[in-house]
Structure 1
Amino acid sequence: MSIPQTAARAAIFLDRDGTIIEDGGFLTSPEEVVFIPGAATALLRLQEQFALFIVTHQVGMARGIQTAEEVERVNRHILDVLGEEGVVITEVYCCPHERSEGCQCIKPNPFFPNAAARDYGVTLEGSFSIGDHLPDVELAQNVGGTGIFVLTGHGDKHRDEVPPGTPLFENLTGAADWILNGATPAA
């Protein structure tokens, strides 16, 4: 399987926990990973038109609950399972910091989308971010894209915090349907 061409393509920036996989807390082992039903199929459809990136906040590393090696093993497992389904994730970007540290890589700062544009030539205009927390939505908005909120993971708990007009769907499948059926990205 070849990696999809990314140059001059828009991207989808995906939250990991609560969007692609169930939010199981601070995962330290691949055996703890549970995929959200339909996620792989949705990603397979999206990659026909978009480069796919995972942007995840793994604060457990800053708190000493997870090691970088454990997080990498979990990420590798996710990529392997998705790869078996034909899904290619271009890159996994991971912020290991506490929000209070004020790092540049934590969502919604555009550090990782800008890195994707620089390193893979993706265009940020027309890109999307999808996740179950407001910083996931704001990530795309901060680079001129469209943020999408999903109700999986912690999404249902935060539903009332979602600004009016924000695209909101039950899951990644609903978000993919909307995008692929001609969603009008933010300009």
Structure 2
Amino acid sequence: MSIAGSDKGAGTRPAAVFLDRDGTLIEDRGHLREPSQVVFFPRAVQALAALQRRFRLFIVTNQSGVAGGMVAMTEVRRVNRHVVDTLHASGVTLAEVYVCPHHRDDGCACIKPNSYFPQKAAREHGIDLSRSYSVGDHPCDVELGTRFGGQGLYVLTGHGRKHRSELPDGTVIVEDLQSAADWILSHRPADDGRE
């Protein structure tokens, strides 16, 4: 799924925030098949609205249920389209939605924490990965940021509390996506805007 942004920024390449979907942006309710199953976390849309003033926004989601036969790729795309359309109706634009449909033991290049999709975004959208962030509720979401040369943040929504003990020392841990947005915007240099 491709939802291309229009502005390139001036002078410097834009930075990005790579967002996990389930457990970070929307409630993790298992393998979602229908748009009616999508529930956005409180404040998530507001968080993205704040972030998009200075970052391109991407979703990077592992959907191993496709490989396991628990959900069809057409269903994943339908749910993703609903997420994109709902955000768009609220004034939030996603540059791209990237989906890995493989099992972790398949040895694919695209499953998180591999940096396949952020590298793809760098090539196709001109993203400066060194100034970019990843946000999610699994340790692999944090490691994703490290692997592409940016920074990962860990949210305590979704599976966040369950896997907190698996995080390396020094991990930035925040309550939810709004808290992640606040942290990112407060730690980014004031002269590092994308305008």
TM-score higher than 0.5: yes
* Most deviating of 49-58 and 2-11: 2-11
In the alignment, the residues of structure 2 paired with residue 38 and residue 155 of structure 1 have an alpha-carbon distance, to the nearest angstrom, of 17
Q: Deviations over 1:104-150 (max 9, x none)?
A: 00001110000000111111011000000011111111011000000
Which one-letter code corresponds to 1:134 in the other structure?
P
Which one-letter code corresponds to 1:86 in the other structure?
G
Q: What value does the CA root-mean-square deviation take over the aligned residues?
A: 1.3
User: Do residues 149 (structure 1) and 151 (structure 2) align?
Assistant: no
Query: Residue 75 of structure 2 is aligned with which of 70, 73, 78?
Result: 70
Question: Under a length normalisation based on structure 1, what TM-score does the superposition of the two structures give?
Answer: 0.95
For 1:9, the equivalent position in structure 2 comes to 14
SS in 2 for 1:125: helix
In the alignment, the residues of structure 2 paired with residue 182 and residue 132 of structure 1 have an alpha-carbon distance, to the nearest angstrom, of 20
Structure-to-structure mapping, 1:87-106, within 5 angstroms: 87-106=92-111
For 1:132, the equivalent position in structure 2 comes to 137
How many correspondences in the alignment? 183
In the alignment, the residues of structure 1 paired with residue 5 and residue 121 of structure 2 have an alpha-carbon distance, to the nearest angstrom, of 15
In the alignment, the residues of structure 2 paired with residue 4 and residue 138 of structure 1 have an alpha-carbon distance, to the nearest angstrom, of 29
Provide runs of 4+ in structure 1 moved above 6 Å. Answer: none
SS in 1 for 2:187: coil
Deviation at 1:160, TM superposition (A): 1.2
Q: Deviations over 1:58-80 (max 9, x none)?
A: 11100111111100000000001
Identity of aligned residues (%): 54
Question: Under a length normalisation based on structure 2, what TM-score does the superposition of the two structures give?
Answer: 0.91
Deviation at 1:183, TM superposition (A): 4.5
For 2:35, the equivalent position in structure 1 comes to 30
SS in 1 for 2:130: strand
Distance 1:6 1:64, change over 3 A: farther
Deviation at 1:28, TM superposition (A): 0.4
SS in 2 for 1:48: coil
For 1:42, the equivalent position in structure 2 comes to 47
